[in-house]
Amino acid sequence: MEAAEQERLTRVGPGSPMGGLLRRYWFPLTASSRVAAPGSLHALRLLGEDLLLCRDHSGRLGLLEAHCPHRRVALRFGCLDDEGLRCPYHGWKFALDGRCLEMPAEPPDTPLRTRVRLGSYAVQELGGLVWGYLGPEPAPELPHYDLLTKPGVLRDIGWAELPCNWLQIMENSVDPYHTEWLHGHHLSQYGQGPAAYRRRTVQVGFERFRYGIIKRRLLEGGSEQDDGWRVGHPLVFPCTLRVGEGFRQRFQFRVPRDDRSTLHLWYSTYRLPPGMEAPPQPVVPEYEVPWRDADGDLRVDFIDAGDIMAWVSPGAISDRTKEQLASSDRGLVMYRRLLLEQLAAVEAGCDPLGVIRDPDEARNLELPHEIEKLGGGDDFVLRAMGGGHGRFSPLYDTVVNAWQQAV
């Protein structure tokens, strides 16, 4: 890959071409529980911009520029009431839509007050997550992906802050061969992971659809009627993997903080065995996935730690001018081409792949997904859960105990 193409593919800041494409989509910002209390302020970075997520005293959410337009003080030290946010330094006050309401040290009729605005962006809550949109108005519909609204299941949100560019994480989602090696043979040294991961992959397929790329794989000894080939699972364009098995289905949302760091979210849903009802969850719990060992080095002793090692160890921005692609990389070649194609579509003034303008489409959004992943049943799911990020979930005991009795 030429250096210029690598720049075009990886950089996400304001004004960059890929930043322009990614700004056409909603991104999850954090768990709703982080900003549940009135007066909450939560500083974050998204697509190279410093932002402040807040909830005022009447319960409304705002997504604002992080620094005061007066003299750039961080507004996270400010105070919220039911009208808006007051800067701690000289008391300028802003509504959640960015209008300036007060400039206490200026003459009462100052024209400056109507001229000054704080940047403000679209924000919504769905499925226990807060979502933000930084692109041009009008914002597209927020996709109500099936798992976000699915009734009768338990949910949790795992997270990790990863020091690498978003693209090396996404490329892993169209690389089915790594499962057999990284999660199969390599992980078996640690006595972890289901044996099904070691089955040989004999055929892979990638197919574009309305919301991204469907990935299929055929394992040695299997048939084209197996879920993994017949149904597969999707990369939801541009930055999400939909994956799962049996009673556990999930999204892996990759949220580019900036060119060199990414928030990774594991959004899981768990069905309980027949006859057991999922208790109500007023709050969707969250948990951190620990991916460093006691010495600060990368862990490789559970499924997702292996993935994180593969994402982070090439360096913050993997140098693709030095890579040697092979025939097994054709999924990621397809994904890179799709990114460049959609980036050109945005530059030509069109909506890119998967952007939804029709509210009915956004509210009835089913994604294809295999149930019997790698040919496994419920026992496989339990082993996969214990061998991966699920072991750190606050719901782990509840879900595993329920299914162990049923299996």
Residue 99 or residue 260: which is nearer to ligand FES going by CB? 99
307 binds, among Fe ion, ligand FES, none (CB under 5 to 8 A by kind): Fe ion
Q: Which is nearer to ligand FES, 12 or 87 (CB)?
A: 87
145 binds, among ligand FES, Fe ion, none (CB under 5 to 8 A by kind): none
57, 71, 150, 230: which one contacts ligand FES (CB under 6 A)?
A: 71
Beta strands in 47-88 (DSSP E): 49-55, 61-65, 79-80, 85-86
Which H helix or E strand runs over 29? strand 27-31
Closest CA to 175 of 167, 186, 165: 167
Which residues in 59-118 contact Fe ion (CB under 5 A)? Answer: none
Q: Which stretch binds ligand FES (CB under 6 A): 66-74, 273-281, 352-360, 391-399?
A: 66-74
Residue 68 interaction partner, one of ligand FES, Fe ion, none, beta carbon < 5-8 Å per kind? ligand FES
How many residues form the binding site for Fe ion (CB under 5 A)?
A: 1
Identify what 87 binds: Fe ion, ligand FES, none; CB under 5 to 8 Å per kind: ligand FES
Smallest separation, CB 248 to Fe ion (Å) = 15
Select the residue whose beta carbon is closest to Fe ion and give its number: 307
Question: Which window, 2-10, 243-251, 302-310, 389-397, contacts Fe ion (CB under 5 A)?
Answer: 302-310
Q: Which does 169 bind (CB under 5 to 8 A by kind): ligand FES, Fe ion, none?
A: none
Task: Considering only the stretches 217-225, 233-241, 305-313, 342-350, report the one whose residues sit in contact with Fe ion under the rule CB under 5 A.
Answer: 305-313
Looking only at residues 309 through 338 of this chain, which bind Fe ion when binding is defined by CB under 5 A? none
64 part of the interface to ligand FES, by CB under 6 A: no
Which CA distances in Å does 260 have to 25, 158, 402? 20, 21, 40
Q: Is the Cβ of residue 24 or residue 76 nearer to ligand FES in the bound state?
A: 76
State CA 61 to chain mean position distance: 20
Smallest distance, ligand FES to C-beta of residue 34, A: 24
Return the residue matching tokens 């699972």: 233
Q: Identify the helix (H) or strand (E) that includes residue 160.
A: strand 154-162
195-200 long-range Cβ contacts below 8 angstroms, 24+ apart: 196/374, 196/375, 196/376, 196/380, 197/374, 199/374, 199/375
- Beta bridge partners, 282, equal none
Paired tokens of 277: 């009802």
Q: How far is the CB of 73 from ligand FES (least distance, A)?
A: 4
- For the beta carbon of residue 68, count every other beta carbon within 10 angstroms: 22
Radius of gyration of the chain (CA): 22
What is d(CA 331, CA 325) in angstroms, rounded to the nearest whole number? Answer: 11
Which residue in 34, 45, 70, 260 binds ligand FES (CB under 6 A)?
70
CB atoms within 10 A of CB 150: 13
Residue 307 interacts with Fe ion (CB under 5 A): yes or no: yes
Residue written as token pair 């519909």: 141
Counting contacts by CB under 6 A, is residue 68 touching ligand FES?
A: yes
Q: Which of residues 113 and 299 has its CB atom nearest to ligand FES in the complex?
A: 113
Of residues 87-126, which lie at the interface with ligand FES (CB under 6 A)?
Answer: 87, 89-92
Distance CA 165, CA 388 (A): 22
Residue 25 binding ligand FES, by CB under 6 A: no
Identify the burial level of 307 via C-beta atoms within 10 angstroms of its C-beta, where 0-12 means exposed, 13-18 middle and 19 or more buried: buried
Q: Using CB under 6 A as the criterion, which residues of the chain lie in contact with ligand FES when the complex forms?
A: 68, 70-71, 73, 87, 89-92
Q: Using CB under 5 A as the criterion, which residues of the chain lie in contact with Fe ion when the complex forms?
A: 307
